[in-house]
Amino acid sequence: MDTKQAIKKAIIEGDVTLGIELGSTRIKAVLIDMNHKPIASGSHDWENQFVNGVWTYTLDAVWSGLQDSYKKLLEVVELKYDVPLTQLRAIGVSAMMHGYLVFDKYENQLVPFRTWRNTTTEQAAQQLTAAFSFSIPQRWSIAHLYQAMLKGEEHVKDIALITTLAGYVHWKLTGEKIIGVGEASGMFPIDSEVNAYDSKMLFTFEQLKKAHHVNWTLQEILPKVCLAGESGGKLTAEGALRLDPSGQLRSGVLLCPPEGDAGTGMVATNSVAERTGNVSAGTSIFAMVVLEHALSKVYTEIDMVTTPSGKPVAMVHCNNCTSDIDAWLQLFDSFAGEIGVKMDKTELYNILYRQALEGDADCGGLLAYNYFAGEPITGFEEGRPLFARLPNSNFTLANFVRTLLFSAMGTLKIGMEILTEKENIQLDQLLGHGGLFKVQNVGQRLMAAALSVPVTVMESAGEGGAWGIALLAAYAREKASDETLEHYLNHHVFNLNSGVQVEPSQEDQAGFKVFMDRYTKGLMIEQAAVAHFRK
């Protein structure tokens, strides 16, 4: 039986697994076969909205986007394999981490979804960090909750469930109010010894809560924590119709615990074992390093989260990455259209990204900040996309594009230096995934220079978190009784896929060092833009 016929048989018999990820700009559904290879995908583009000072998405947009991405996947399956998709072996749901989704006991949404991109919880984050002696970033769910309490928001007393976007979608598909441990670690600190919410910090929060006169306990309203490989419940009949309104999809399918994009990125790059790390570069950019031991002190720039199996991870998260690059490339696309040139988006990105490799190592004196939103690592509550140059800067297309790419890595470099220089953490390589790495050898080469470490990109990394959560779903369904996630990935998924590694070049490293000196000194320009450039 040839490969196509084998896949067709698997689809008919339901031996295929579905992964869905709700990213910041795209909802993607990926179908994988029994060999963990993607065989079909569908996607839906969406954007957050800035409403009443809050970055948000409506729940209607969540479901219409999910249904559209799944419908497009069905169309691909029928086109490629000439069979309908009616049953699945397992399903996994992932989404952007953190944020604030709260519901009352009647399952009514209490306030619009507050996403990770909001930087309005500085007071709460600082107070909780001091109370817990543990870094609480502004985007974490507990920071959003405590900020709402500090502001005396009326809805707080009615909260019966606080969850993330992945947790919400999973709940509506299965009826289960649970969350994967990696995703949970972006809601409230996790004790990695027991893989549960930290009991001492829960107690501390209850003492803080007394001044705010609410009747619930935090333990009551948080979703239950589950580990990779555990059952996350089964797809209900109502859940099946939510995903596939045509009614073709059968219920009863196993779901793995829902995870965030950080956890699925670790899985998609096989970076879940100690001394491994990955960097995800899309709308946001973050690096994850799986630790052998705890850090020596608390750093507000470093988040302590976990892998999907509960191992401690140091995370450097930056709110801004490719949004500014995308905006500039859309400008070039518009110009091409005006002169009668129709260009595929992938071709446009390839042409312009490759220009970056022709530029001066230090970008010729150009400077850019990609701050669409605030950036806590550098102390910004708001952002202003900004491009600057001196009269004698070498203003070429190649240097311009190189500057945009280096700008996307600048804040990450500041955070990573804490781990490499203050904590002396050694990295043999980082695994790269996300939109910044789609053009072969460009983002990968420049990232290696920026972080002074080899960067490896796997062929499958382009499928991103949707593929990663599909692997977690497959693991929950297929693993041996005592098989660890690391063993499963090494022996069943990545045994034939080692990826392509790029070493940092001395010239690129020297150029990035000069650029970063310009970048750090120029942060005062960004501060002035935030202060004085307003509607």
Arithmetic mean of pLDDT over the chain: 93
CB-side neighbour CA atoms (13 Å) of 179: 31
Q: Cβ distance 451 to 432 under 8 Å?
A: no
> pLDDT tens for residues 111-129?
999 998 888 999 999 999 9
| Vertex 359: Cα angle to 401 and 528 (nearest 5) | 50
CA distance 392 to 217: 61
Chain centroid, CA 436 distance in Å: 13
> pLDDT tens for residues 430-445?
998 888 898 989 999 9
| SS3 sequence of 462-531 | HHHHHHHHHHHHHHHHHCCCCCCHHHHHHHHHCCCCCCEEECCCHHHHHHHHHHHHHHHHCHHHHHHHHH
Domains of the chain, by residue range, sit at: 323-457+505-532
CA distance 164 to 426: 32
Q: Which residues pair with 42 in a beta bridge?
A: 29
- pLDDT-based confidence at residue 497 (cuts at 50, 70, 90): low
pLDDT of 3 = 85
Spatial neighbors of 224 by CB under 8 A, at least 6 apart, are 177, 178, 179
Q: Which residues pair with 476 in a beta bridge?
A: none
Residue 340 has pLDDT above 80, yes or no: yes
More confident site: 298 or 361: 361
- pLDDT-based confidence at residue 462 (cuts at 50, 70, 90): low
pLDDT of 251 = 97
- Rg of the chain (C-alpha set): 23
- Percent of the chain past pLDDT 90, that is, above it, reads 80
Q: Cβ distance 444 to 290 under 8 Å?
A: no
Residue 369 has pLDDT above 60, yes or no: yes
> pLDDT tens for residues 373-421?
999 899 998 999 999 999 999 999 999 999 999 999 999 999 999 998 9
> pLDDT tens for residues 23-36?
988 999 999 999 99
Distances (CA, A) of 251 to 180, 248, 255, 466: 22, 10, 11, 21
End-to-end CA distance of the chain: 64
- Percent of the chain past pLDDT 70, that is, above it, reads 98
Residue 329 one-letter amino acid: L
- pLDDT-based confidence at residue 295 (cuts at 50, 70, 90): confident
pLDDT of 460 = 61
CA distance 164 to 177: 11
pLDDT of 2 = 64
Task: Please give the CATH topology (third level) of the domain spanning 323-457+505-532.
Answer: Nucleotidyltransferase; domain 5 (3.30.420)
Residue 534's Cβ-count burial label (10 Å; 0-12, 13-18, 19+) is exposed
pLDDT of 119 = 83
> pLDDT tens for residues 448-457?
999 999 999 8
